[in-house]
Structure 1
Amino acid sequence: MTSRRESGKNDTDGDGTAGRRTGGRESKAERLARMHAEYDILREVYPEAYCALHFHNPFELLVATVLSAQTTDKRVNSVTPELFERYPDPAAMGGANPLDIEDIIHSVGFYHAKAEHLVGLSRMLVDDFQGTVPKTMEELTQLPGVGRKTANVVLGNAFRIPGFPVDTHVTRVTGRLRWRTDWRSTHPDPVKIEHEICDCFPPEDWTDLSHRLIFHGRQTCHARKPDCLNCPLSATCPSAGILD
């Protein structure tokens, strides 16, 4: 952290971002200071940072997160009680017929692929990890249907191991706040976003930072018609008032 602050004191952003509130160019050090000030506000506005998916153990969170792709947490929470009652552990789910799982999860979308992933990852947990969910990014991303976002959700929320999940809300909010250098990109790379944002905050903040950005995206910084008028970050947000 110290080296980043010091190295950015006299550097302006490579993308030529204008300091909207000051009328000048925003240096890396200024942007970093603004990011931390804005996160302090998010801490106050969303004091309870948590995962909206319902789970009781790492396996349930892993399954729920795989199901959450391209659907809402609310929708996932509506199907997981029955799913976990019938298949409470990797051994049970790994021995399931994917068609039976499809019958339970069909409302979440992409249910065919997700059912195959759930059976496959459960079998792999039994065969390769003694029926337990691994605690490293490398091992988690070996599982069928598990990418970095899902792995970060599990690491941060099931094991309290620092992880920064990047979903559509995180991508949108960090872009509008210009917390990342590729904010102009129409197809930003989630891995690049993860690394760039994590470089600006201590590891102990990563998981809750993601939660708060997600909350803010859901409640205020909507994909369409963001509520800039009532946004607590509008005083410093470079995009405030200029979006439809």
Structure 2
Amino acid sequence: MARLPQPLPYADQVAIFSRLRDADPAPVTELEHGNAFQLLVAVALSAQATDAGVNRATRELFEKVSTPQQMLDLGEDGLTEHIKTIGLFRQKAKNVMKLSRILVDDYDGQVPSSRAALMSLPGVGRKTANVVLNCVFHQPAQAVDTHIFRVGNRTRIAPGRDVDEVERAIEDNVPAEFQQNAHHWLILHGRYVCQARRPRCAICPINDLCPYEEKTE
């Protein structure tokens, strides 16, 4: 098995995240939500879907539903009607109904602040749990998706063979003062600048610090 490249040195990490922070001091998730439950649902729906697509599907839904009990009252058929434009919507609807029932029965209708408890809910994986922990409970949890995996490896901010290794590399190598917002900055950078097929290196604020050899003009 090939050895992973070494992550960027501490000084470069500080310089990179200082620039990302200067450009966007208070980054937030692009998934629209009004409370913890709505965010949990939105992230669960976002698997194999875009944030924009989820937002289009949930705007009207979240006008009606803001609690697990209201989701149960809406029913699976009602939920399915709202989210039918999202990939895998039938299975996602089943999972949302199941997790809503568990939240009502076991958590008094509240979203738990424990990663283990969140990951025990149907359709909630580590990435979804980390988004909720970070955005709602302000824990420095790193929700690694395809954008962060690409940026982490391409820039050597957080190299890893899989999302778990990249998550650990962020935790181990990104300076503590940037941990809370690190995954927001990295996902936005990957979504709008360091794109998969043709990174926009000419407008990249960390171009001179990035070791990626195949930079575009």
TM-score norm. by structure 2 comes to 0.90
- 2:31 is paired with a residue of what secondary structure? coil
Tell me what 2:206 maps to.
233
Residues 1:180 and 2:158 are matched in the alignment: yes
User: Any gaps of 5 or more consecutive residues in structure 1?
Assistant: 1-13, 18-25, 183-187
On the 8 A contact 2:202/2:216 being kept in 1, the answer is no
Tell me what 1:159 maps to.
137
The Cα of 1:203 is off from its aligned counterpart by: 5.4
**What is the aligned-residue identity percentage?**
40
Residues 1:149 and 2:137 are matched in the alignment: no
Q: Which amino acid aligns with 1:52?
A: E
Distance 1:126 1:176, change over 3 A: same
On the 8 A contact 1:59/1:132 being kept in 2, the answer is yes
Residues 1:73 and 2:51 are matched in the alignment: yes
Report matched runs for 1:184-195 at 5 Å: 188-195=161-168
The count of corresponding residues between Structure 1 and Structure 2 is: 216
On the 8 A contact 2:35/2:66 being kept in 1, the answer is no
User: Any gaps of 5 or more consecutive residues in structure 2?
Assistant: none
Q: Return the index of the structure with the highest Cα Rg.
A: 1
Of 131, 148, 151, 1:170 maps to 148
The Cα of 1:242 is off from its aligned counterpart by: 4.1
> Highest relative contact order (Cα 8 Å, sep 6+), 1 or 2?
2
Q: Which amino acid aligns with 1:117?
A: N
Distance 1:208 1:15, change over 3 A: same
On the 8 A contact 1:53/1:65 being kept in 2, the answer is yes
Distance 1:202 1:136, change over 3 A: farther
- 1:107 is paired with a residue of what secondary structure? coil
Distance 1:153 1:204, change over 3 A: farther
Q: Which amino acid aligns with 1:198?
A: E
TM-score norm. by structure 1 comes to 0.81
Distance 1:238 1:108, change over 3 A: same
Q: Which amino acid aligns with 2:181?
A: D
After superposing the two structures, state which structure 1 stretch, 190-199 or 140-149, moved more: 190-199
Residues 1:15 and 2:19 are matched in the alignment: no
Of 49, 62, 77, 2:27 maps to 49
What RMSD in Å do the two structures reach over aligned CA positions?
Answer: 2.2
